[in-house]
Structure 1
Amino acid sequence: MLNLLTILAERFSMIGLLAFVLSRANFFKKVISNNVSYKDLSILIIIFSLIGIIGTYVGIPINGAIANSRVVGPMIAGLLGGPFIGFLVGFIAGLHRFLIGGFTALSCGISTTIEGLIGGIIKKYYKNTVDWKIAFLAGIIGETLQMILILTISRPFSSALSLVKVIGLPMILVNSSGIAVFMLIIKSVFDEIDIIESRQAKIMLDITSKTIPYIRSGLNKDTAKVVSEIIYESINVDAVAITDLKTVLAYIGLDDVQDKCQFLKKSEINAFRFKKVYVDHNKRGLGLLSSVTAPLYCYDELVGTLKLFRKNKFVNSTDIEVAKGLSNLISNQLEIADAENQKRIANEMKFNALQAQINPHFLFNALNTVISFIQYNPDGASKLLITLSEYLRNNLRYAGKWIMICKELENIDAYLFIEKARFGDKINVVKDIDDDLLNMYIPALLIQPIVENAVKHGILPKDNGGTVVIKIKDNNDFIRFSVEDDGEGIEYEMLKKIVKEDYGTSMGIGLHNVYERIQSIHRGAFFKIESKKGHGTKVVFDFPKYYEENKEEISSDVEVFNSR
C-alpha cells in the first residue's frame, strides 16, 4: 500500500505541473474571476476533461482495474465552474473510463460523473473561491463514494473487496491532497490578481488626482501635454500619445514611432465603434513595436485616442486594463469639463439677460423721484442721479466677480439712499458690522438681494414702514450674515417653497439664488429663514472667510444670480 501511495503521488505530480501551467493562462484567470465567455467555458470543459482522461492513462493497473487520479479533473471543474460544468466534465472523463473496460468500468464511470457534480454543488453554495480545506474534504467524500460504488456494483464482490483494500486509502489520500493543492494554486492566482488590481487602482488614483485639474480644461495641446507626461511618469511604458481625430496633441517617449499616431486605422475605428481598445504588434526590422490604443469619448462621441507603446515586447493584460481605465477616466472628465463649460455659458447668458432688464419699475420710479426733486431740491436731484448712476454701474461692473464686503455695503447704501428718497421715514436701517470683516471677499450681489427683498416685500407694504437690521459678525472660519426686518413677513406655505428651485415669485427667486450660490461654494453651509406673517422676516447664513489672496483662485467657480 505504501509503495502504491508513493507511485500515485509521483504520477500526480505531472497533473500538478499541468495545473500550474494552466493557472498562468489568461482564460483561466477570467474563469476564476467570473469574467468568462462561452468560449472560455468551452476551453475549460475540454482542458479538465483531458486532465481526467490523462489521470486515467497515468494510473497504475491493479487486479484488472486502475488506481488513478482521474477524479481531480472533474472535481476541480465543478469547484470552479458549478454543477453543469462539473457534471459534463465528469461524464466525459467517466465515459472514457467506461469505454476502456474492466470489471470496475461501470462503477468508476458513474462515480467520476457524480464526483464532478459534487464539486459543482459545493461551488453553488460556496460563493467565493472554495477553500483548500473544503476541497480536501470534498475529495475524501468523492473518493470514498467511488470505493462504495465499486463494492456495490462491481462483480465478483470478492475481487472488488480485494481491490478496495489495496487502492482505497492511497487514492483517497493522494487525490484529496491533489485537489487541495490545485485549489491552493488557484488561490495563488487570485492573490496575484488582487495584487495587480490593487497596483492598478493605486496608479489610477494617483493619475486621477494629478490630471483632473488639467483635463477639466478640455482636450487641447496644452492639457494633453501635461496629462501624457503624468501618465508616462506613472506607468512603465516606452511612449504615450494623446490625439484628437486629426492630429497628435501630445507625445512623449520614443521619437521614432511618433508617425504611428498620425492617422486612425480602419481596424482601430471598427474597434472603437464597439468601445473596445485596439492592440497592435508591429514588427520593425528585427525589433517589435507593440501598442494599445484606447478611445476617448465625450457623450458617446469619439473625440480622440490614448496610445501606450512598448518597444521589443508585447503589451500585456495590465497595459490593456490601464489603458481602459485611463480612457474611462479622461472621457468622464471631458464630459464633466463640457458640462461645466455649458453651465458657465448658461449662467453668463442668464446674468446678461437679467442685467439687460434691471427692474424697470425700480428704474422708472427712481427717475421719477429725480424729476420731482429737480423742481424743489436741485442739489438733492443731482446727488440722487449720481447715486443711481453709481448703483447701476456697480451692478454691471461687479457682475460675476468677488468683491470686498465693504464694496457690497456701498452698493446696498446706494440702493437704500434711492429708496429712502422716495419713501422717506418708512425705511429705517440699522447696521451691526465687525470692522475687521470689511476686507473679506464675497461674490457680488450676495447680501444685496436679501436687503432688497426686505425693503420691497417686507417694509414697503406696511403703512408705517419699518426697520431693516443688517448684521455681519465673525463666526470662527465663517462670516455670519443676518438681514432682519419687522415687515409683513412670509406665509408658512410660501416659506417652505422659497429654497426650492424655480420658485416663481420675485422674492422666492432672490432668496433661492442666494441659497444656491452659497451651497455651490460651500455645500452644507448654514442657511435659515425665519418668518411669521405680520411679524417680519429674518434671513441668516454663514459664508466661508476668503482673503484677498484667495479671490482669484476661486472666482471661476462662482455662479452669478440676480434677484431682480
Structure 2
Amino acid sequence: MIENAVIGAVVVGAVLALFVVLCRFRRVHTTVDDAVLDAIQRLSKAAPELRSGLTERAADQAAKHLVELLNCVAVGIEDVSGDVMSWDGQANHHHRDMEYAIQSAKDHNRREHVNHEDLPCAQRGSCPMRSAVVVPLIVEGSIAGVLIVVGGVNSNKRLMRMANEIAGFLCTQLELAKLDESKQQLAQAEIRALRAQISPHFLYNALNTISSLIRTDPEQARELLQEFADFTRYSFRTSGLFTTLAEELRNIDRYLMIERARYDNRLNVRLKIAPEVLSVTVPFLVLQPLVENAVKHGVSRKTGGGTVTVIAQDNGNEALISVEDDGVGMDADRLFADLRDAHTTGAHVGIGNINQRMRSVFGDEYALMVETAPGLGMKVTLRVPKFHSGVRADLPDYTASEDEVPTHT
C-alpha cells in the first residue's frame, strides 16, 4: 500500500514538473485547468503500454502521444542495442547523423545535445529540425534505451528540460514494469513452493490406496485413479495465478475423496457452499494446502479421527471462506511464532505462504484469521473480495460447472 502511494506521488510529481515546462515552452491559449488536463490525458495515453516493458509496440504508442504533448518535430525511442523502436514525426533522415550523440549518451550515461548546423542536411532551408536532445533511459541502474526529442526552435535549455522530464516519466513507467515482472515472478515462486508442499506422502499413500482397491473394488479404484489424475493435473498446471472458487473447491473435493478412501470412517467431511460465491476469483491453490493441513496435522493425529468442515458464504462485497477441523489443535502462540519463522524453519509454510499471498494481492486487511487451541482443533478463515482491480481468473481448458461442485454434505 505504501509502495503504491510512493509510485502515485512520483507520477503526479512528474506530470506537474512536465506541465510547468510545457507552460513555459508553449504559448498556452487555454486555461491552466485545460492545459493540466490535456497534459495528464496525453501522459495517461502514453503510459499503459510501457507497463509491459520497452517493446516496439510500447515505444510506438508512447512516441505518438509524446509528439503531440511536446508539440515538437519528432520523438524517437531506441533500445540499448541500437535498434530504433519508434520514430514519430519528421526529420527521421537525421537519425543516422545523430548516431555519435546517441552512442555517447549510452557510453557515458549522460544527456547529449545536437545542433542542426553541425549535421549534413540536403534540406538546409526547409528542414524542420533546429536541435535535438538525446537522454539515456536508466532503469534500476542500467540503460534500457535512449529518448530522442527533436525540436523546431533553437531554445536549447527548454528543449533539454522537456526531454529530461519526459525521460523521467518513461523511466518511472519502465521501473513499474520491472516491479510488475518481479511481482509476477514472486507469485509464481510462491505457487511453486505450495506445490512442493503437496506432501510426497500423500502422493505415495494415494497410489497405495488405489493399488489396494484394484482387486477388492476395481470400480472405486478406477474412480479414485481418475480423481488422482485430475488432482495432479490441476495442482501442477503451469499457467495462471488466479482461479475461481468453484475450481478450488472441485480440487479439494478430489483430494478429500482420496483421503476418505484411505482413512475410511476416521475422516468425515462437511461442505457448506453458497452457490452465489462459486464464481468469485481466488488465488490459485489457496484452499488445498489449508485442507491438507487440517487432515494431516489435525484429524489424522486425533484418536478416532474427526471432521474437516469447509464453508463458503456470501458476505456482502466479499466471500467468507473457512476451513475447520476438530483435531488435536495447538497452542496459538506457538503457531504464530512458527508462522513468523516459517521462512527459516519450514513449519506451517503452507499457511504462512497463503497468508502472504492474500496480503500481497488484496491488502493487509485480508490476512488470514486463525483460531486454535490444544485439543480444540483449528479454524482458518479467509475474506476474499468479489471484485478487485487486476485480479482475474485464468481457467484451464476444463472448468468445473456448478453441478460438479459439491455444496452441501
TM range (shorter): 0.7 to 0.9
Mapped to 2, the partners of 1:392 and 1:415 lie a distance apart of 10
Q: Are the aligned partners of 2:318 and 2:386 in contact in 1 as well (CA < 8 Å)?
A: yes
Q: Are the aligned partners of 1:248 and 1:262 in contact in 2 as well (CA < 8 Å)?
A: no
Give the structure 1 partner of residue 235 of structure 2: 395
Q: Structure 1's 360 and 533: CA in aligned 2 closer, same or farther, altered over 3 A?
A: same
Q: Are the aligned partners of 1:525 and 1:542 in contact in 2 as well (CA < 8 Å)?
A: no
Give the structure 2 partner of residue 107 of structure 1: none
Mapped to 2, the partners of 1:264 and 1:193 lie a distance apart of 25
Give the structure 2 partner of residue 252 of structure 1: 88
Paired residue type of 1:419: E
TM-fit CA distance, 1:201 = 8.2
Alignment partner of 1:239 is 2:79? no
The number of residues matched between the two structures is 360
1:314 to 139, 154, 162: 154
Q: Structure 1's 498 and 209: CA in aligned 2 closer, same or farther, altered over 3 A?
A: farther
TM-fit CA distance, 1:261 = 2.4
Give the structure 2 partner of residue 282 of structure 1: 116
Q: Are the aligned partners of 1:229 and 1:252 in contact in 2 as well (CA < 8 Å)?
A: yes
Mapped to 1, the partners of 2:60 and 2:294 lie a distance apart of 52
Mapped to 1, the partners of 2:284 and 2:394 lie a distance apart of 16
Mapped to 2, the partners of 1:412 and 1:491 lie a distance apart of 26
Deviation sequence 1:341-368 (CA, Å, 0-9, x none): 3553465466558657853211111111
TM-fit CA distance, 1:505 = 5.6
TM-fit CA distance, 1:462 = 1.0
TM-fit CA distance, 1:464 = 2.1
Mapped to 2, the partners of 1:271 and 1:401 lie a distance apart of 40
Say which SS state the counterpart of residue 503 (structure 1) adopts: helix
Alignment of 1:455-466 (within 5 A): 455-466=295-306
Q: Structure 1's 434 and 263: CA in aligned 2 closer, same or farther, altered over 3 A?
A: farther
Q: Structure 1's 464 and 201: CA in aligned 2 closer, same or farther, altered over 3 A?
A: farther
TM-fit CA distance, 1:236 = 2.0
Give the structure 2 partner of residue 488 of structure 1: 328
Paired residue type of 1:260: H
TM-fit CA distance, 1:316 = 4.4
2:315 to 475, 486, 500: 475
Mapped to 2, the partners of 1:530 and 1:356 lie a distance apart of 25
Q: Are the aligned partners of 2:242 and 2:394 in contact in 1 as well (CA < 8 Å)?
A: no
TM-fit CA distance, 1:300 = 2.6
Give the structure 1 partner of residue 210 of structure 2: 370
Q: Which has the higher contact order (CA 8 A, sep 6+)?
A: 2
Paired residue type of 1:521: V
Paired residue type of 2:112: Y
Give the structure 2 partner of residue 114 of structure 1: none
Q: Structure 1's 502 and 331: CA in aligned 2 closer, same or farther, altered over 3 A?
A: farther
Give the structure 1 partner of residue 372 of structure 2: 531
Q: Are the aligned partners of 2:194 and 2:350 in contact in 1 as well (CA < 8 Å)?
A: no
Paired residue type of 1:259: H
Q: Are the aligned partners of 2:329 and 2:376 in contact in 1 as well (CA < 8 Å)?
A: yes
TM-fit CA distance, 1:479 = 1.0
Q: Where in structure 1 are there 5+ consecutive unaligned residues?
A: 1-191, 556-564
Q: Structure 1's 431 and 193: CA in aligned 2 closer, same or farther, altered over 3 A?
A: closer
Say which SS state the counterpart of residue 343 (structure 2) adopts: coil
TM-fit CA distance, 1:502 = 4.8
TM-fit CA distance, 1:545 = 1.0
TM-fit CA distance, 1:294 = 1.2
Mapped to 1, the partners of 2:22 and 2:131 lie a distance apart of 26
Q: Structure 1's 202 and 308: CA in aligned 2 closer, same or farther, altered over 3 A?
A: farther
Q: Are the aligned partners of 2:187 and 2:357 in contact in 1 as well (CA < 8 Å)?
A: no
Mapped to 1, the partners of 2:268 and 2:394 lie a distance apart of 38
Give the structure 2 partner of residue 323 of structure 1: 163
Deviation sequence 1:86-113 (CA, Å, 0-9, x none): xxxxxxxxxxxxxxxxxxxxxxxxxxxx
Say which SS state the counterpart of residue 219 (structure 1) adopts: coil
Q: Are the aligned partners of 1:292 and 1:315 in contact in 2 as well (CA < 8 Å)?
A: no
Range moving further from structure 2, 239-248 or 264-273: 264-273
Paired residue type of 2:331: E
Alignment partner of 1:520 is 2:360? yes
Paired residue type of 1:334: L
Give the structure 2 partner of residue 214 of structure 1: 49
Q: Are the aligned partners of 1:470 and 1:482 in contact in 2 as well (CA < 8 Å)?
A: yes
TM-fit CA distance, 1:318 = 3.4
Q: Structure 1's 362 and 443: CA in aligned 2 closer, same or farther, altered over 3 A?
A: same
Give the structure 2 partner of residue 297 of structure 1: 138
Mapped to 2, the partners of 1:500 and 1:222 lie a distance apart of 44
Mapped to 2, the partners of 1:211 and 1:497 lie a distance apart of 47
Q: Structure 1's 398 and 430: CA in aligned 2 closer, same or farther, altered over 3 A?
A: farther
Mapped to 1, the partners of 2:186 and 2:21 lie a distance apart of 46
Mapped to 2, the partners of 1:239 and 1:553 lie a distance apart of 41
Mapped to 2, the partners of 1:193 and 1:230 lie a distance apart of 17
TM-fit CA distance, 1:512 = 1.8
Give the structure 2 partner of residue 68 of structure 1: none
Range moving further from structure 2, 397-406 or 426-435: 397-406
Paired residue type of 1:468: V
Q: Which has the higher helix share?
A: 1
Q: Taking structure 2 as the reference length, what is the TM-score of the superposition?
A: 0.76
Q: Structure 1's 514 and 497: CA in aligned 2 closer, same or farther, altered over 3 A?
A: same
Mapped to 2, the partners of 1:261 and 1:526 lie a distance apart of 52
Paired residue type of 2:377: G
Mapped to 2, the partners of 1:406 and 1:341 lie a distance apart of 28
Structure of higher CA gyration radius = 1
Paired residue type of 2:299: I
TM-fit CA distance, 1:267 = 4.5
Give the structure 2 partner of residue 432 of structure 1: 272
Q: Structure 1's 432 and 441: CA in aligned 2 closer, same or farther, altered over 3 A?
A: same
TM-fit CA distance, 1:419 = 0.8
Mapped to 1, the partners of 2:140 and 2:267 lie a distance apart of 53
TM-fit CA distance, 1:209 = 3.2
Mapped to 2, the partners of 1:317 and 1:267 lie a distance apart of 17
Q: Structure 1's 520 and 466: CA in aligned 2 closer, same or farther, altered over 3 A?
A: same
Mapped to 2, the partners of 1:354 and 1:364 lie a distance apart of 18
% identical aligned pairs: 30
Mapped to 2, the partners of 1:258 and 1:501 lie a distance apart of 59
TM-fit CA distance, 1:507 = 5.6
Deviation sequence 1:205-238 (CA, Å, 0-9, x none): 5555333321121212111000111212222212
Give the structure 2 partner of residue 503 of structure 1: 343
